Amino acid sequence: MESVPNVQELVRNDPLQVPESFLIGNEEEEDKLQSTADKYNPSSEIPIIDLSLLSRGSEEELHKLDKACEEWGFFQVINHGVATEVLQEMKDATAKFFELPLEEKNKIRMPPDDFQGYGRAYAVTQGQTLDWSDALFLSIYPTQYRRPNLWPTAPEGFKETIEAYSSGVKRIRDELLRCLSSTLGMEKDALLNLHQEVIQVLRANYYPPCKMPDKVLGLSPHSDTSTITILMQEDNVTGLQIRKEGEWVPVKPIPNAFVVNVGDVMEIWSNGKYRSIEHRAVTTESKSRISYASFILPHAEVEVEPFGHIVELSGSQKYKKVKYGDYLGSSLKKGKLKGKSHIETAKIGS
């Protein structure tokens, strides 16, 4: 860990220098160029879900949600009821935090045996290309998993801001999990109960600008090991891309909307009906970007396996039973995630 540089500091010291450990290989670079950004405008096709309609029991919106999870694994949520001021305060305070001097941020530096605190998005194993990003990672709910000594004390009021933001995300999370229980043919609280404890962790990703944006990746292609992930991105910089039919599709920010994606747990539970889609973050030459990912996870003891009624409908069980803690643990040990390689380990026949 010691040897992994802080990216923001690298850029502060010398904006023109990109150390070799960050340079992506030729293969990755070719893949990177396959972005469809210039061909057509596919981002408008990423489904938009109106949460207020879902809350009012709209069958039509529920059907849209079901199709979004099946065909895209990604959608944007509007009319979610979290106040714009709460979102803006979170953005302002987090930006101020990352602007602090390194010594200040290092007061809550991620310990080697923990994933919480200020550090990197993934553990780094030898030989892996490094991602062009730093991160602040905090366990939010249930509150007993918090490590208060790894929560930022500056800027003033940041803790309360994180609290207000996260409680907004929690409401969205519960509403979506209820709706997804319905779309999967179960009673409303089924998914919430199956988590045993619904765990919510927050990662703020900071991507400094990079003078060679085509030579690095902010976050390498991966799928999330969560049930779902609820992400806020900035309004004025595009960085998130998702893999759709082999091409990289940018997710253009809709002001104040959340981007939600299906994670590996949902893919397993739904026997592959809902897909955990590979995504990545790219950097830009002149603007930094911050994204805010709330990962929703089941308790470590939960045995995740495809639902019987869905297996019956689809004819065969496609995934094995995995204990969530083991699944997550082995993924973290691998360090940086490689596309969808981890969920392959849960597939029957792997």
Ligand X SMILES: O=C(O)CCC(=O)C(=O)O
Summarize as ranges the residues that interact with ligand X (CB under 6 A).
203, 205, 219, 224, 231, 233, 239-240, 279, 281, 291, 293
Q: Which does 281 bind (CB under 5 to 8 A by kind): Fe ion, ligand X, none?
A: ligand X
Q: Which is nearer to Fe ion, 158 or 207 (CB)?
A: 207
How many angstroms separate the CA atoms of 221 and 245, rounded? 15
User: Could you tell me if 345 and 304 are in contact, meaning their C-beta atoms sit under 8 angstroms apart?
Assistant: no
User: Could you tell me if 247 and 34 are in contact, meaning their C-beta atoms sit under 8 angstroms apart?
Assistant: yes
Q: Which does 200 bind (CB under 5 to 8 A by kind): Fe ion, ligand X, none?
A: none
How buried is 135 (Cβ within 10 angstroms: 0-12 exposed, 13-18 middle, 19+ buried)?
buried
Q: Which does 238 bind (CB under 5 to 8 A by kind): Fe ion, ligand X, none?
A: none
Q: Which does 239 bind (CB under 5 to 8 A by kind): Fe ion, ligand X, none?
A: ligand X
- Least Å distance between CB 302 and ligand X? 21
Q: Nearest Cα to 340, choosing from 227, 264, 274?
A: 264
Structure tokens belonging to residue 25: 């290989």
- Least Å distance between CB 205 and ligand X? 5
Q: Which is nearer to ligand X, 279 or 342 (CB)?
A: 279
Dihedral pair phi/psi, residue 267, rounded to 5°: -60, -45
Q: Which is nearer to Fe ion, 18 or 77 (CB)?
A: 77
Q: Which is nearer to ligand X, 152 or 253 (CB)?
A: 253
- Least Å distance between CB 185 and ligand X? 29
- Least Å distance between CB 135 and ligand X? 8
- Least Å distance between CB 243 and ligand X? 12
| Strand order across the beta sheet in which 48-50 lies | 48-50, 74-78, 258-262, 228-233, 289-297, 199-207, 134-141, 117-119
Q: Which does 291 bind (CB under 5 to 8 A by kind): ligand X, Fe ion, none?
A: ligand X
What is the binding site for Fe ion (CB under 5 A)?
A: 224
Q: Which is nearer to Fe ion, 54 or 328 (CB)?
A: 328
Dihedral pair phi/psi, residue 116, rounded to 5°: -90, 150
- Least Å distance between CB 219 and ligand X? 5
Q: Which does 91 bind (CB under 5 to 8 A by kind): ligand X, Fe ion, none?
A: none
What is the CA 118 to chain-centroid distance, rounded?
Answer: 17
**DSSP string of 184-214, one letter each residue:** TTS-TTHHHHHTSS-EEEEEEEEE---S-GG
Task: Report which DSSP code applies to 35.
Answer: B
Q: Which does 166 bind (CB under 5 to 8 A by kind): Fe ion, ligand X, none?
A: none
Q: Which is nearer to Fe ion, 131 or 224 (CB)?
A: 224
User: Using alpha carbons only, how large is the chain's radius of gyration in Å?
Assistant: 19
Which residues neighbour 168 within 8 Å (Cβ) at sequence distance 6 or greater? 80, 81, 82, 83, 86, 87
Residue nearest to Fe ion (CB): 224
Among left, alpha and beta (phi > 0; psi -120 to 50; other), residue 117 is: left
Q: Which is nearer to Fe ion, 31 or 224 (CB)?
A: 224
Q: Which is nearer to Fe ion, 18 or 199 (CB)?
A: 199
- Least Å distance between CB 310 and ligand X? 26
| Alpha carbon separation from 292 to 29, 158, 233, 268, 316 (Å, rounded) | 26, 14, 6, 25, 37
- Least Å distance between CB 53 and Fe ion? 26
